Chains A and B, each alone.
Chain A
Amino acid sequence: MKLEIRDASFAYKSGKELYKNVNFSIESGEMISILGPNGAGKTTLLRAAMGLLNWKSGGSYLDGENVADMLPAKLWSKIAYVPQNHGRAGSYTVLQSVLFGMTNQIGMFSVPKEKEIRLAEETLEKLNIQHLKDRKCNEISGGELQMVMIARALASHAGILVLDEPESNLDFKNQMIVLDTLSKLSSEGVGVLFNTHYPEHALRRSTKAILIDHETVKFGPTTEIINEKNIESAFGVKAYIGQFETEHNMIANVIPVGLTSKDATKSEEAEDTDVLATLSIICGQFEESERINAILHEFNDILFGRMGMPHRKRNLYLISVNLDGSRKRIEELAHQLSLIPQVSCKVTYAKEEIL
Chain B
Amino acid sequence: MMTTKNGSWKTRYILFLLLLPVVALILSLCIGRYVVSVSDVFGSILSRFDESIDVPKLAYITVWNVRLPRILLAFLVGSALSCSGLMFQSLFQNPLATPDTLGVAGGSSFGAVLALLLGFTLIPLQLLSFGFGCLAVFLTIMAAKGKESSMSTIVLSGIIMGSLFSALVSLVKFTADQEQQLPSITYWLMGSLQSATYSSLLIGFIPISISILVLFLLRWRLNLLLLSEEESCSSGVNMKRLRKIAILCATVATASSISMCGQVGWVGLIVPHMCRMMFGNDHRHLIPACISFGGTFLILVDTLARSMSAAELPISILTAMIGAPFFIFLMRKKGGWSL
Contacts and interface: CB of A to CB of B under 8 A. Distances in A.
**Is chain B found bound to chain A in the same assembly?**
yes
Interface of A: 47, 50, 52, 72-77, 79-81, 83, 86-87, 89-93, 96, 100-101, 103-104, 106, 108-112, 134, 138, 156
Interface string B151-186: 000000000000000000000000000000000000
Contacts of A86: 227-228, 230-231
B228 A96 contact: no
Interface in B321-339: 337-339
B234 A103 contact: no
A103 B230 contact: no
Given A100-B224, A110-B220, A76 B281 contact: no
B289 to A, nearest CB: 15
A80 B3 contact: no
A114 to B, nearest CB: 12
4 tightest CB-CB pairs across the interface, nearest first? A76-B236, A90-B226, A104-B236, A81-B234
A106 B217 CA distance: 12
Given A89-B228, A92-B223, A138-B338, A108 B218 contact: yes
A109 B234 contact: no
Contact of A91 (B220, B234, B236, B281): B281
A72 B230 contact: no
A50 B230 CA distance: 11
Contacts of B223: 90, 92, 96, 100
Interface of B: 2-3, 93, 217-221, 223-224, 226-228, 230-231, 233-238, 280-282, 284, 337-339
Contacts of A134: 2-3
Contacts of B235: 76, 100-101, 103-104, 156
A111 B220 contact: yes
A1 to B, nearest CB: 16
A104 B237 contact: yes
A110 B234 CA distance: 19
B282 to A, nearest CB: 6
Nearest to B147: A13
Contact of A72 (B217, B221, B236): B236
Contacts of A156: 235-236
A86 B230 CA distance: 9
A47 B231 CA distance: 12
Nearest to B240: A72
A108 B221 contact: yes
B227 A89 contact: yes
Contacts of B227: 86, 89-90, 100
B76 to A, nearest CB: 22
A14 to B, nearest CB: 12
A104 B224 CA distance: 11
B2 A72 contact: no
B3 A91 contact: no
A265 B234 CA distance: 45
Nearest to A106: B220
A80 B233 CA distance: 10
A203 B207 CA distance: 61
A103 B238 contact: no
Contact of B2 (A47, A77, A93): A93
Contact of B339 (A80, A89, A112): A89
Contacts of A103: 220-221, 224, 235-237
A91 to B, nearest CB: 6
26 contacts: A73-B236, A74-B236, A75-B236, A76-B234, A81-B233, A81-B234, A83-B231, A83-B234, A86-B230, A86-B231, A89-B93, A89-B228, A89-B339, A90-B281, A90-B339, A91-B337, A92-B281, A100-B223, A103-B220, A103-B221, A103-B235, A104-B236, A111-B220, A112-B220, A134-B3, A156-B236
A92 B218 contact: no
A58 B228 CA distance: 28
Nearest to A83: B230
A76 B230 CA distance: 12
B3 A93 contact: yes
Contacts of A47: 230
Nearest to B227: A89
Nearest to A103: B235
Contacts of B219: 111
A76 B231 CA distance: 11
A101 B93 CA distance: 20
Contacts of B2: 93, 134
Given A92-B223, A112-B220, A72 B237 contact: yes
A87 B231 contact: yes
Contacts of B338: 91, 138
A72 B337 CA distance: 32
A258 to B, nearest CB: 36
Contact of A81 (B93, B218, B230, B281): B230
B238 A72 contact: yes
Contacts of A109: 217-218
The winner among B217, B218, B221 for most chain A CB atoms within 10 A is B221
Nearest to A162: B234
B224 A91 contact: no
Nearest to B218: A109
Contacts of A90: 223, 226-227, 281, 339
A72 B237 CA distance: 7
Contacts of B234: 50, 52, 76, 79-81, 83
